[in-house]
């Protein structure tokens, strides 16, 4: 009967474990690669050591949220906005989320002045750093317009 080589592993809390050397080697190698760290530099010269897998997932998420979408008003004016802003617009949210549409959305029934105001509203409401009291104040000013313009904002 062949003997299996054993090795002793010690945990951080001082416990020891006798395990098969081949199994230990494979598992330790796998754990080490999953715990690989990378260094990220920020714009303000700070550096961070982070888990590589976590960093890559977050970087991909940030990149997709910064994707630009072009909205075209009925008079041909293009507005380039972040994807997060465009997702506030219910009429194009679903096609964007489903990746059915490209980054260009003609809006033939929306006037340039209305689209401009709506984009401004969406920018404010997609910014997680804006405090609630500021949003309430912004919303109150946003609807404090002539009735015709408010009607257009609601319908378009």
User: Are the CB atoms for 52 and 46 separated by under 8 Å?
Assistant: no
- Reported as a single tens digit per residue, the pLDDT across 94-147 is 888 887 767 889 989 889 988 999 999 999 998 889 999 999 999 998 888 888
Q: Per-residue pLDDT for 67 more than 60?
A: yes
Q: What is the mean pLDDT of the chain?
A: 79
Structure token digits, residue 2: 């062949």
The pLDDT tens digits for 14-48 are 777 777 777 766 666 665 555 677 676 666 777 77
- Superfamily of domain 68-155 in the CATH hierarchy: Potassium Channel Kv1.1; Chain A (3.30.710.10)
- 129 vs 45: CA distance, rounded Å: 22
Segment 74-101 shows an average pLDDT of: 87
Give the DSSP letter string of 113-144: HHHHHHHHHHHHHH-TTS-HHHHHHHHHHHT-
The full set of domain ranges for the chain reads 1-35, 39-65, 68-155
């Amino acid at each position: 009967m062949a003997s299996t080589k054993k090795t002793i592993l010690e945990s951080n809390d001082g416990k020891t474990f006798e395990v098969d050397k081949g199994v230990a080697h494979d598992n330790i190698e796998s754990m080490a690669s999953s715990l690989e760290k990378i260094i990220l530099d920020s714009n303000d010269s700070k550096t961070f050591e982070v888990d590589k897998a976590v960093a890559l997932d977050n970087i991909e998420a940030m990149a997709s949220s910064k994707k630009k979408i072009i909205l075209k008003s009925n008079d041909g004016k293009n507005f380039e906005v972040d994807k997060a802003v465009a997702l506030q617009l219910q009429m194009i949210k679903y096609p964007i989320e489903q990746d059915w549409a490209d980054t260009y959305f003609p809006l033939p029934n929306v006037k340039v002045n209305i689209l401009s105001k709506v984009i401004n509203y969406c920018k404010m409401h997609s910014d997680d750093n804006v405090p609630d009291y500021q949003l309430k104040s912004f919303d109150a000013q946003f609807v404090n317009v002539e009735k015709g313009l408010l009607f257009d904002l609601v319908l378009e």
